Amino acid sequence: MSERGETGGGLGSRQAAVSILSQVLRRKRPLDMAAAEVFATANLEPRDQAFARAIASTSMRRFGQLEALIRAFVPKAPPPHKAGPTLEILLAGSAELLFLRVPAHAAVDGANRLAHSDSKAVHFRPLINAVLRRVAQEGPATLQQQDAARLNTPDWLFERWCTIYGEDSARRIAHAQLEIPPLDLTFKSANDPYTDFRDAIPLGPGRLRLRDAGKVESLPGFSDGCWWVQDFAASLPAILLGDVRGKTVIDLCAAPGGKTLQLAARGAHVTAVDTAADRLALVEANLNRMHLSAEMVATDARDWKPASESPFVLLDAPCLATGTIRRHPDLPWIKTAADLVNAESLQSELIDAAGAMTARGGTLVYAVCSLEVEEGEEQVEAFLARRKDFVRSEILPEDVDKAFITEKGDLRTLPFYWTEKGGMDGFYAARLKRLL
């Protein structure tokens, strides 16, 4: 990260980052939503927005480490009602110093100016200055002694992963989620020669991975509708439907739309269903950019009935999304185990609705970007127990890499898979067949 503290936009970027962190930590708002709200009124240049986002996302990705470090220097934290954004300023400043490699004089000066600009934090300016100077001097050595994977994963998640996957895999998951993910592209045509992406990593037909990609809209082929952004693991569930050319496919909980685009590009007649009309509008905009089409239905899938049952139904159900923490580092700190109970109930209702839409002899693919078995494996087992007219259609090595196939024939990817290539999101999917 280039040094920004001495530029005119330095203070504005840092103020935006602190505002984002306050919304995430105090109001439990998703970082992306908080950033969009802050940037809508912050009047920042694109590169200043990028700096603010880097500070906020790094602060959350390394939150456990940073919090432990700050607590070591400030055993008794100042009360929030008196200190205002003091904690957020310390977090942001520490992230700049230790992980973004901002020069100490710029990061400390930026934090001091932030404190000076706030009516509450200004009273804690000496504390902020002293702590960040200690962080600059002692922080790097302290980091070497920290258990990064454990500190940056809340107890409720780490203990669950140890139970489900074993401690070694739990640690590998936690380590993988500390890495900034690369950018994966899915091409409209699997036969595209990708001549404009010579440094990219091929992931399979029609799929490439880029590191340090920069602004998506500036990449070659974007305006021509050659590709869309989609994590490799997220592209697998739609593949499990098989040949859909000329067939009707219902894509439930369709936004942000990667699977809709996949299916439309493969020649399917897609009906994309989602509760959020604004998110469906973004799906439609991407379809238009790609010169593809699909029917958009803005409604709750539990209340909607198609004109006729479909031979193919894809349900990517809302979930805790713990398989995407590397893309959403705020997630472990704004969710709790209690959120899992609500998600399970919704998923059960949605898979029942999806089953009712599946024609006899048809295929239903259920997927979640979650590492939690209650949202994946257990949902499918419960559904099969309720619906005796459905059976598991085992996923085969010709469908996906055999390393992704479970003993029962389902799909399961973990964030540390393909580490040498940059990892992937954690996904679960099952392919189910309705009997004739």
Percent of the chain with pLDDT over 70: 98
Fold of 232-434: Rossmann fold (3.40.50)
Compute φ and ψ for 201, nearest 5 degrees. -100, 120
* pLDDT, position 164: 97
Residue 38 has pLDDT above 70, yes or no: yes
Per the listing, tokens 């100077």 go with 133
Q: For the residues 428-435, what does the mean pLDDT come to?
A: 98
* pLDDT, position 212: 83
* pLDDT, position 248: 98
Percent of the chain with pLDDT over 90: 90
* pLDDT, position 5: 39
Q: For the residues 63-86, what does the mean pLDDT come to?
A: 91
Compute φ and ψ for 267, nearest 5 degrees. 90, 10
Cα 158 from Cα 145, distance rounded (Å) = 20
Residue 193 has pLDDT above 80, yes or no: no
Cα 181 from Cα 225, distance rounded (Å) = 23
As annotated, the active-site residues are 369
* pLDDT, position 103: 95
Residue 4 has pLDDT above 50, yes or no: no
Q: For the residues 382-386, what does the mean pLDDT come to?
A: 98
Confidence of residue 9 (pLDDT cuts 50, 70, 90): very low
* In 43-166, alpha helices (H): 46-61, 63-73, 80-83, 86-98, 104-116, 125-145, 148-151, 155-165
**Model confidence over 288-308: pLDDT tens digits?**
999 999 999 999 999 999 999
Residue 195 has pLDDT above 90, yes or no: no
Specify the pTM.
0.94
Distances in Å between the Cα of 230 and the Cα atoms of 212, 273, 334, 376 are 16, 19, 24, 21
Q: For the residues 225-239, what does the mean pLDDT come to?
A: 96
* pLDDT, position 8: 36
Q: For the residues 351-367, what does the mean pLDDT come to?
A: 98
**Residues in the chain, overall count:** 436
For residue 231, the SS3 value is coil
* pLDDT, position 267: 97
Q: For the residues 176-192, what does the mean pLDDT come to?
A: 92
* pLDDT, position 243: 96
Please, what's the b/e burial string for 198-236 (b: 16 or more CB within 10 A of its CB; e: otherwise)?
eebbebeebbbbbeebeeeeebebbeeebbbbbbbbbbb
Q: Has domain 10-146 been given CATH number 1.10.940.10?
A: yes
* pLDDT, position 213: 83
* In 337-387, alpha helices (H): 337-357, 377-386
Phi/psi region, residue 212 (left: phi>0; alpha: psi -120 to 50; beta: rest), is left
* pLDDT, position 132: 97
Cα 183 from Cα 48, distance rounded (Å) = 21
Average pLDDT, the chain: 94
Cα 12 from Cα 18, distance rounded (Å) = 10
Q: For the residues 34-52, what does the mean pLDDT come to?
A: 94
Task: Please give the span between the terminal C-alpha atoms of the chain, in angstroms, as a whole number.
Answer: 59
Residue 7 has pLDDT above 60, yes or no: no
Confidence of residue 2 (pLDDT cuts 50, 70, 90): very low
* pLDDT, position 148: 96
Distances in Å between the Cα of 192 and the Cα atoms of 202, 211, 289, 390 are 12, 20, 17, 38
* pLDDT, position 347: 97
Residue 46 has pLDDT above 60, yes or no: yes
* pLDDT, position 81: 86
**Model confidence over 135-162: pLDDT tens digits?**
999 999 999 999 999 999 999 999 999 9
Cα 97 from Cα 18, distance rounded (Å) = 15
The dihedral of CA 141, 6, 82, 25: what is its sign? Answer: negative
Residue 271 has pLDDT above 70, yes or no: yes
